[in-house]
């Protein structure tokens, strides 16, 4: 399976920037790519005699019994002619999985969060993506409004699945208003096409008080219930408004001209849920969940954690979430955290962390739940952790989840000090790709400013592991 050099490419410069099409960023151990000798910095430029389109095209084309792979390395094209089983683990990570950047959103949603953020944040946060490839690869939600017929045919031919679709409403006129695009009104036809093609999909409804909840939510769920097993789940999440978004809303955004023709004289005013309204959504959801449980064997419609936390309602148990189909969108993440805490505490040795200290910095919304969990953690392990809910001054106090806290917020909440007791923050605050927080500060920069270690953690088990390591590395004082 050795490669054969078939043509010199010395006239072509191999650009190692992440935007270079087909650039290999990493190769997994014990993978076929490593066995073949493919290395980071190589470019996969063709497969089975055709130019490689993107990472999804590679996944589809490479799962064959006969594969011809063209790889460019240092100006030379290497060709691998392979006979395979057809289900190989290639282990290739591309620097840019789409090879041509991200498809930009062409909608004008009145609650678009990207339009609500200030300057100075991570550059990637300003990309208004609506890319079906990212939907399949990373679970990003798309509206389907920018798909060409060629895109549809590719999705169908290569079975690009599952997709995650921002539906918001199944009423054509209301969805046009909520998405800000006349193409948005064909959503039921688009979803039906996915179903006919055998494409699995998840649906999301961003709920706006008095706009697409109540009777409109009933309509959307009634329409969505007509789809079979290809529709895997439906989520309802409350609209979010930053301080900048509220200032924008105070100007009473008008619908686009197209929407004005559809809904003459109407405007959509976006605001946050009040507690009694959120309780109403929970009650409405529970009615539908009971129906879906009887019809489909699972609740099928799941609410964002914010609905439960903002009302002080109990977070549903693990069985409710049916395998957590939309946890990447934050649906059930609180239950997941609490389950992980319970598993850790069941096996934790009593008193094993006696004297270990630190501070857990979290969003204000999860604060009461976090305090209860950490109190149980301290009682079991002997640790002396404290919980400090942090106000979001960067985006505005209305944004109260941990994952949207920034370095600026941490520096505003805590005075600089000297010591080795760490601050623990949610690992969702830190980009896995850039290692930066929302405001582009690094964890190291925050550490230097606070004078104490700052440790991203996924759960309390991560916190315990870090505390144990610190205990072991602490110098022992002779008696």
Domain membership flag for residue 288? yes
Q: Is 378 helix (H, G, I), strand (E, B) or coil?
A: helix
DSSP string, 297-357: SS--EEE-HHHHHHHTPPPP-GGGGTT-TTGGGTTTHHHHHHHHHHHHHHHSPTTTTTT-E
Alpha-carbon span 128 to 137, nearest angstrom: 17
Sort strands 231-238 and 301-303 into parallel, antiparallel or unpaired: parallel
Q: Residue 467: CB partners within 8 Å, gap ≥ 6? A: 353, 356, 358, 383
Query: Residue 73's Cα: distance from chain center in Å?
Result: 34
- Residue 447, in any domain of the structure: yes
Name residues whose C-beta falls within 8 Å of residue 375's C-beta, 6 or more positions apart in sequence.
Answer: none
Whole domain around residue 174: which residue ranges? 114-329
Phi, psi angles (nearest 5°) of residue 13? -80, 130
Which residue among 329, 353, 378 closes a domain?
A: 329
Helix or strand run (H / E) with residue 278: helix 275-296
Is the domain of 162 the same as that of 236?
yes
Residue written as token pair 């009040």:
274
What is the reported pLDDT for 103? Answer: 80
Please check whether residues 42 and 19 belong to one and the same domain: yes
- Answer yes or no: is 478 within a domain: no
Residue holding tokens 């582009």? 440
Residue 306 lies in a domain: yes
Domain annotation covers residue 108: no
Does residue 23 contact residue 96 with C-beta atoms inside 8 Å? Answer: yes
Domain identity same for 185 and 265: yes
Exposed/middle/buried for 450, CB within 10 Å: 0-12, 13-18, 19+?
A: buried
Q: Same domain, yes or no, for 127 and 80?
A: no
Rg from Cα positions in the chain: 25
Domain membership of residue 431 (yes or no) is yes
- SS3 state at 206: strand
Residue 105: inside a domain, yes or no? no
Are both 355 and 319 inside the same structural domain?
no
Q: Same domain, yes or no, for 130 and 90?
A: no
Same domain (yes/no): 317, 268 = yes
Residues whose CB is less than 8 angstroms from the CB of residue 329 and which lie 6 or more positions away in sequence, other chains included = 139, 141, 164, 204, 235, 237, 304
Same domain, 349 and 464: yes
Tell me how far apart the alpha carbons of residues 474 and 438 are, in angstroms, rounded to a whole number. 33
Boundary residue ending a domain (276, 299, 329): 329
Domain boundary among 281, 303, 329: 329
- How would you write the pLDDT of the chain (479 residues) with one tens digit per residue? 444 433 333 323 233 334 578 999 999 999 999 999 999 999 999 999 999 999 999 999 888 889 999 999 988 999 999 998 877 899 999 988 888 878 878 888 877 666 666 666 566 554 567 888 988 888 889 999 999 999 999 999 999 999 999 999 999 999 999 999 999 999 999 999 999 999 999 999 999 999 999 999 999 999 999 999 999 999 999 998 665 545 554 444 444 333 333 444 445 778 889 999 999 999 999 999 999 999 999 999 999 999 999 999 999 999 999 899 999 888 999 999 999 999 999 999 999 999 999 999 999 999 999 999 999 999 999 999 999 999 999 888 888 899 889 999 999 999 998 878 999 999 999 987 778 898 889 999 999 999 999 999 999 999 999 999 998 887 654 44
**Among 134, 68, 126, which Cα is nearest to 100's?**
134
Q: Is residue 102, in this structure, part of any structural domain at all?
A: no
Hey, which residues does 80 pair with through a beta bridge? 69
User: Cα separation of 422 and 385, whole Å?
Assistant: 10
Q: Which long-range contacts (CB under 8 A, 24 or more apart) does 268-272 make?
A: 268/110, 268/177, 268/178, 268/208, 268/211, 270/110, 270/111, 270/208, 270/211, 270/239, 270/241, 270/245, 271/208, 271/209, 271/239, 271/241, 272/209, 272/238, 272/239, 272/240, 272/241, 272/398
Identify whether residues 50 and 71 lie together within a single domain: yes
Are 438 and 463 found together in one domain? yes
Same domain, 64 and 161: no
Do 181 and 90 belong together in one domain?
A: no
CATH at residue 66: 2.30.42.10
Contacts of 1 (CB under 8 A, 6+ apart): 35, 36, 80, 82
Q: What pLDDT is stored for residue 316 in this prediction?
A: 96
Domains of the chain: total: 3
pLDDT of 203 reads 98
């Amino acid at each position: 399976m050795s490669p054969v050099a078939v043509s010199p490419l010395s006239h072509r410069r191999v650009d190692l920037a992440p935007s270079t099409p087909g650039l290999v960023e990493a190769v997994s151990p014990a993978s076929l790519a490593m066995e073949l000798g493919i290395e980071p910095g190589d470019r996969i430029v063709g497969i089975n005699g055709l130019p490689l389109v993107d990472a999804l095209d590679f996944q589809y084309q490479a799962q064959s019994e006969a594969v011809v792979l063209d790889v460019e390395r240092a100006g030379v094209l290497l060709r691998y002619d392979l006979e395979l089983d057809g289900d190989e683990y290639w282990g290739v990570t591309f620097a840019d999985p789409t090879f041509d950047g991200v498809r930009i959103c062409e909608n004008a949603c009145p609650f678009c969060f990207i339009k609500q953020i200030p300057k100075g944040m991570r550059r990637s946060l300003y990309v208004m993506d609506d890319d079906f490839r990212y939907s399949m690869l990373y679970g990003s939600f798309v509206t389907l409004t920018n798909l060409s017929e060629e895109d549809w045919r590719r999705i169908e031919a290569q079975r690009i699945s599952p997709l995650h679709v921002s539906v918001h409403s199944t009423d054509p006129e209301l969805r046009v208003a909520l998405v800000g695009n006349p193409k948005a009104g064909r959503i039921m036809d688009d979803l039906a096409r996915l179903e006919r093609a055998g494409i699995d999909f998840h649906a999301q409804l961003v709920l706006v008080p008095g706009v697409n909840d109540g009777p409109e939510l009933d309509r959307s769920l009634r329409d969505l219930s007509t789809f079979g097993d290809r529709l895997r789940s439906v989520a309802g999440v409350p609209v979010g408004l930053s301080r900048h978004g509220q200032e924008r809303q105070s100007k009473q955004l008008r619908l686009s001209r197209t929407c004005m023709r559809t809904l003459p004289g109407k405007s959509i005013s976006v605001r946050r849920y009040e507690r009694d309204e959120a309780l109403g959504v929970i009650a409405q959801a529970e009615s539908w969940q009971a129906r879906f449980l009887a019809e489909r064997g699972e609740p099928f419609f799941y609410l964002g954690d914010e609905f439960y936390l903002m009302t002080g309602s109990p977070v549903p148990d693990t069985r409710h979430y049916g395998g957590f189909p939309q946890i990447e969108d934050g649906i059930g993440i609180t239950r997941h955290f609490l389950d992980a805490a319970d598993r850790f505490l069941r096996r934790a040795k009593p008193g094993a962390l006696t004297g270990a200290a630190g501070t857990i910095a979290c969003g204000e919304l999860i604060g009461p739940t976090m305090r209860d969990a950490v109190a149980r953690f301290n009682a079991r392990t002997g640790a002396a952790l404290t919980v400090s809910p942090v106000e979001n001054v960067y985006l505005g106090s209305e944004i109260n989840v941990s994952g949207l806290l920034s370095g600026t917020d941490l520096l505003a909440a805590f005075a600089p000090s000297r010591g080795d007791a760490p601050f623990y923050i949610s690992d969702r605050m830190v980009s896995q790709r850039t290692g930066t927080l929302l405001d582009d500060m690094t964890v190291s920069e925050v550490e230097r400013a606070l004078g104490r270690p700052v440790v991203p953690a996924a759960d309390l088990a991560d916190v315990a592991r870090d505390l144990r390591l610190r205990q072991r590395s602490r110098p022992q004082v002779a008696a």
